[in-house]
Structure 1
Amino acid sequence: MRTNSQIAAWPATALKHATLIAFAGIALLPLYFMLVSAFKTREEFLGNTFGPPMAPVLSTLAQSFAGGDLFRWVVNSVAVTSASVLLSTALAALAAYPIALMKWRAGPYVLGALIALMVIPPIVLVIPLFQIAAGLRQLNTYQTVIVIYTGLLLPFSTFLLASFFKTISPSLIEAARMDGAGSWRIFRSILLPLSGPALATVVTVQALWVWNELLIAVVFLQSEHLRTLMVGLTVYNSRYRIDVPMVMAGMLWGTLPMLLLYLFGQRFFIRGLTAGGVKG
């Protein structure tokens, strides 16, 4: 039986739930439009724009991939994203260790500088970075883009990992030192196994940002065969502007890799939360 206070609070609770549902519907509307359009023919889309497909087809998805450009763009994005995320995560973990757990006087100042760097928008760095890359004759190379992405990702990644490392019990570190473990052994055998959730979070956030980044890829990868997926989809939209289902099918292909990464990350979160600990 409900109490009087619960009955009085029911309208506010119902309004809160309705608001959340409304915002969720607004957020999911573009995804719904992409999904239903990708399984329609152009003729059905013109007659049934927003409704679900009456006769779902896979031909639109197959045709969007048949040209070969979309597959190459996906491969390019996978290569750039993987290299940037792996390099940035490794460097961030190595930098976060002395900042968080070693007696380093400059650690707090370095951490403060990283926080300051996080507020600088990447767009203000494009022109000086372009001039540096042009002076070094490194335009239209994946190496340049990977280095730029790594540098932009490092402040956030280092800050997040340093914050997580500080939550690890100092007694674990001291016990390992008493057993004769050096700094590298502590980092490799204690910190990394216990940091599964933080590392998975860093990798997922970084991959999403690099995968969806457009400005740097447009400026520094101007050759057609070097295009990443976001740049390619911009061209794809111009090429098939009239054929909306074809564009939505291309968008769906571009979404699948990040969806798979998210599903894998969910399992990693659970394993990371249960893998670390002190066994008695």
Structure 2
Amino acid sequence: MTVPASTIAQRRWQPARADRALKHGVLLLATFLALVPTLFMILTSFKSDEEYTYNKVGLPQAFVLDHYDNVLFQSPFFAWMGNSVILVAGAVALSTFVSCLGAYAIARLPFKGSNLLFSVSTALMAVPPVVMIVPLFVLYTQLGLISTYQGTILIYAGLITPFSVYLLTTFFRTIPRELFEAARMDGAGDLLILWRVVLPLSLPALLTLVVVNALYVWNDLLIAIIFLQDDAKRTLMAGISVFQGRYDNQIPLTMAGMVIASAPMIILYVAFQKYFIQGLMAGSVK
């Protein structure tokens, strides 16, 4: 007895549909679990202190905006944000500049020890920043760089440069060699090739670095607390931590500050999401 082709196709389609539904269910569950802390933070920021006392995880009965007013206008919130912007801009710019030069040299200017240098730079990504706190603090105390923007920017730039060199080197190696040879035949030097040929083609990778490194510097707390001890130079995350310690019984007020502090980085990620995904895939397929 011959089974109709339509029946065979239907039998194949049903398991495939079940597998697809299972995958979608797992993804939805993972997404929900990832968003739970964010939802808790947002909902708590709209609760009054009294309501939060007896209703910590439920929806707010009435949306209270007083906490946002207190955060924005009753604290040096904008000064903290300005300090964070200075550190993010300085560290990301310095790291990107150094990383572009280093990655181009490793990827397109082969020299003795280039592979070893690349391996050492990549291995530095595994070194936790906390192990460097004590020697850096002693050195910065001797050099008078404690509570200075330039000293803290150097630390952040050094921490994010290994990943930047790794990503850019991987991307630069995927650029066709013919483009470099054509540029050299036209008389272009290495710096001109890097500026006119390599960087325009590396826009996804560069924007990925900007987003990832900006997120790291913006959200960091350890370096900011230890190396920026001056209250006038306190960063946003360090300020919120002090804010939380001062008002430890006003959790909704702290959550409101965290919501506002998260907004700039969320906007940055959403704005460059397309390039961010492309940059993460850079060099994975040649």
The amino acid across from 1:237 in the alignment is Q
Counterpart for residue 190 of structure 1? 197
Counterpart for residue 275 of structure 1? none
Q: Say which SS state the counterpart of residue 68 (structure 1) adopts.
A: coil
- Distance in structure 1 (CA, Å) of the matches to 2:23 and 2:267: 32
Counterpart pick for 1:133 among 128, 132, 140: 140
C-alpha deviation, 1:270, in angstroms: 9.2
C-alpha deviation, 1:115, in angstroms: 1.4
Counterpart for residue 33 of structure 2? 26
Residues 202 and 110 of structure 1: CA distance in aligned 2, closer, same or farther (over 3 Å): same
Residue 79 (structure 2) pairs with residue 72 (structure 1): yes
- Distance in structure 2 (CA, Å) of the matches to 1:109 and 1:223: 40
Q: Say which SS state the counterpart of residue 3 (structure 1) adopts.
A: helix
C-alpha deviation, 1:124, in angstroms: 0.7
Task: Give unmatched runs, 5+ long, in structure 1.
Answer: 273-280
Residues 207 and 13 of structure 1: CA distance in aligned 2, closer, same or farther (over 3 Å): same
State the Cα deviation string for residues 195-221 of structure 1 (Å, max 9, x = none): 110001111111111111111111111
Counterpart for residue 183 of structure 2? 176
Residue 157 (structure 2) pairs with residue 150 (structure 1): yes
Counterpart pick for 1:36 among 30, 38, 43: 43
The amino acid across from 1:137 in the alignment is G
State the Cα deviation string for residues 32-59 of structure 1 (Å, max 9, x = none): 0111122233234335432333332333
- Distance in structure 2 (CA, Å) of the matches to 1:234 and 1:38: 16
The amino acid across from 1:140 in the alignment is S
The amino acid across from 2:255 in the alignment is M
Q: Is the 8 A contact 2:208 2:275 kept in 1?
A: no
Q: RMSD in angstroms over aligned alpha carbons? A: 2.1
The amino acid across from 1:204 in the alignment is V
Give TM-score scaled by structure 1 length: 0.90
Query: How many residue pairs end up in the alignment?
Result: 272
Question: Identity over aligned residues, as a percent?
Answer: 43
Counterpart pick for 1:246 among 234, 246, 253: 253
- Distance in structure 1 (CA, Å) of the matches to 2:276 and 2:49: 41
Give TM-score scaled by structure 2 length: 0.88
Q: Is the 8 A contact 1:96 1:158 kept in 2?
A: yes
C-alpha deviation, 1:89, in angstroms: 0.7
State the Cα deviation string for residues 99-150 of structure 1 (Å, max 9, x = none): 1012323321211111121111111111111111111122111211111111
The 10-residue stretch of structure 1 (81-90 or 213-222) with the greater mean CA deviation from structure 2: 213-222
Counterpart pick for 1:255 among 256, 262, 276: 262
- Distance in structure 1 (CA, Å) of the matches to 2:148 and 2:190: 36
- Distance in structure 1 (CA, Å) of the matches to 2:10 and 2:129: 54
The 10-residue stretch of structure 1 (46-55 or 61-70) with the greater mean CA deviation from structure 2: 46-55
- Distance in structure 2 (CA, Å) of the matches to 1:57 and 1:139: 40
Task: Give unmatched runs, 5+ long, in structure 2.
Answer: 1-5, 280-286
Q: Is the 8 A contact 1:196 1:269 kept in 2?
A: no
Alignment of 1:1-280 (within 5 A): 3-266=10-273
Residues 143 and 22 of structure 1: CA distance in aligned 2, closer, same or farther (over 3 Å): same
The amino acid across from 1:143 in the alignment is Q
- Distance in structure 1 (CA, Å) of the matches to 2:129 and 2:167: 19
- Distance in structure 2 (CA, Å) of the matches to 1:213 and 1:244: 21
Counterpart for residue 283 of structure 2? none
Q: Say which SS state the counterpart of residue 187 (structure 2) adopts.
A: coil
The 10-residue stretch of structure 1 (33-42 or 130-139) with the greater mean CA deviation from structure 2: 33-42
